[in-house]
């Protein structure tokens, strides 16, 4: 009855856990959630005000499908300045980041194509690859290597069917940041083997140590790289559904074809607010990242203090990906913690085969909740 395409894909593991959490909260359960990957901060006031102004000004109709010109310009300027990817408005498509991913899969992948992605990786990559009829090929990473793909591992996963490689640095679910020389080595292979790169840089500003490097900035990479990012994480704007794709003009035109047949354009009145986010004060973002760093350190100390739990020190995003030494599958562990501790975490297995034996904890939560929630995890694990 449903398409084979749909039946091949499970529900999003991250969103599924979040849905259970909101149901339990509605029922009055005192649940502490470390499941959802979204900042718990409010969208800064200057951005909200810009949105209200545009509503009042009656900016409530369709916009050009690629986004309003001034926003495309602001994104191009930001990308040239911060990401060192020299580009203009013509290289920008304004679109929700997750929708960019979906359109890219439909625009570039055919049945039989292989797509390399890190193992573990964010849940929706495998899903969109499968929906497009292509084959996800996981490149294993190791806890000991801070979950970074190595140049050798990427090279050995390539076949004549490899069409695309996904990079996500800083990473969801591990928080790891890929070193520049590894990215350069991977870029060289992609050029040599004629492979496209999808670089998901949504956590580009949430970084505590090391530097964020865009793979699309290396010589010879612009024309083969699809760089996606957005406002959700940097400016605590997950509900606004606003992001972008940076690519060659030819690629933007191709993906825009899908935009015109799907969402038409992004919401109109949020686009002037996005200009304010990019060009206005960056103070709230800086404060938020400082706060996340404190929480990372706190959560790390608390987790590493639990018997049978070990966690490395991620340099970015707001996730910890601890491994545990209990004989229980990560799906079952997450359910056990939900029932016994009233704490929500995401099972590591949702993020790929290498995620088995791990769980993901989002520390986009108050210090009080981190202390209480990880305390509850400790108590529940001690009973296993």
Question: Cα 200 from chain centroid?
Answer: 7
- Out of 172, 174, 259, 350, point to the residue binding ligand PMP (CB under 6 A): 172
From residue 16 to residue 55, the character string flagging contacts with ligand PMP as x (rule: CB under 6 A) and all else as - is ---------------------x------------------
Told to check if 95 binds ligand PMP by CB under 6 A, we report no
**Coil, strand or helix: which one is 117?**
strand
User: Which residue in this structure is represented by tokens 């990906």?
Assistant: 321
Q: ∠ at Cα 216 (12, 231), nearest 5°? A: 50
Q: Residue 171 Cβ, how far from ligand PMP at the closest point, in Å?
A: 7
Whether residue 323 contacts residue 336, with contact meaning beta carbons closer than 8 Å, is answered with no
HSE value, Cβ hemisphere, 13 Å, CA-based, for 44 = 22
Please give the C-alpha separations between residue 358 and each of 156, 308, 311, 326, 327, in angstroms, as whole numbers. Answer: 25, 11, 9, 10, 12
Binding of ligand GLU by 12 (CB under 6 A): yes
Report the relative pairing of strands 343-344 and 32-33 from DSSP bridges: parallel
Residues 115-134 that bind ligand GLU (CB under 6 A): 122-124
Q: Is 118 in the site for ligand PMP (CB under 6 A)?
A: no
Compute the distance between CA of residue 68 and CA of residue 125 in angstroms, rounded to an integer. Answer: 28
176 binds ligand PMP (CB under 6 A): no
**37 is a site residue for ligand GLU (CB under 6 A):** yes
114 vs 200, which CB is nearer to ligand GLU? 200
Binding mask 183-222 for ligand PMP (x = CB under 6 A): -----------------x-x--------------------
> How far is it, in rounded angstroms, from Cα 379 to Cα 360?
18
Cβ–Cβ < 8 Å for 167, 200 = yes
Per CB under 6 A, the list member of 32, 36, 101, 345 interacting with ligand GLU is 36
CB atoms near residue 270 (< 10 Å): 23
**Using CB under 6 A as the criterion, which residues of the chain lie in contact with ligand GLU when the complex forms?**
12, 14-15, 36-38, 122-124, 172
**Using CB under 6 A as the criterion, which residues of the chain lie in contact with ligand PMP when the complex forms?**
37, 96-98, 122, 168, 172, 200, 202, 230, 232, 238, 243
């Amino acid at each position: 009855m449903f398409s084979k395409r749909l039946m091949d894909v499970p529900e999003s593991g991250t969103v599924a856990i979040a849905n259970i959490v909101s149901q339990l909260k509605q029922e009055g359960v005192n649940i502490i959630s470390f499941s959802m990957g979204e900042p718990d901060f409010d969208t800064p006031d200057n951005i909200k005000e810009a949105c209200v102004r545009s509503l009042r000004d009656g900016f409530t109709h369709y916009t050009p499908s690629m986004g309003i010109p001034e926003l495309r310009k602001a994104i191009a300027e930001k990308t040239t300045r911060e990401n060192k990817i020299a580009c203009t408005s013509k290289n920008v498509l304004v679109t929700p980041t997750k929708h960019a991913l979906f359109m890219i899969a439909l625009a570039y992948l055919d049945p039989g194509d292989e797509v390399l992605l890190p193992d573990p990786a964010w849940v929706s990559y495998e899903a969109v690859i499968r929906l497009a009829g292509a084959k996800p090929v996981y490149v294993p990473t190791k806890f000991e290597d801070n979950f970074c793909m190595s140049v050798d591992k990427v090279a050995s996963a390539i076949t004549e069917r490899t069409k695309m490689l996904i990079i996500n640095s800083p990473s969801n679910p591990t928080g790891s940041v890929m070193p520049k020389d590894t990215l350069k080595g991977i870029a060289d292979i992609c050029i040599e083997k004629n492979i496209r790169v999808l670089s998901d840089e949504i956590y580009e500003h949430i970084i505590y140590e090391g530097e964020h490097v865009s793979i699309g900035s290396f010589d010879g990479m612009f024309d083969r790289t699809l760089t996606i990012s957005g406002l959700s994480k940097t400016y605590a704007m997950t509900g606004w559904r606003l992001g972008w794709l940076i690519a060659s003009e030819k690629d933007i035109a191709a993906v825009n074809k899908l935009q015109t047949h799907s969402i038409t354009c992004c919401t109109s009145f949020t686009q002037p607010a996005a200009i304010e986010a990019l060009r206005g004060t960056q103070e709230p973002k800086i404060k938020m990242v400082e706060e996340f760093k404190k929480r990372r350190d706190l959560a790390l100390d608390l987790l590493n203090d639990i018997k049978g739990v070990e966690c490395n020190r991620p340099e970015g995003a707001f996730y910890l990906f601890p491994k545990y030494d209990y004989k229980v599958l990560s799906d079952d562990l997450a359910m056990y913690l939900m029932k016994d501790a009233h704490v929500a975490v995401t099972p590591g297995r949702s993020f790929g085969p290498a995620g088995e034996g791990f769980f993901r904890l989002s520390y986009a939560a108050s210090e009080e909740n981190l202390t209480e929630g990880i305390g509850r995890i400790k108590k529940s694990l001690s009973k296993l």
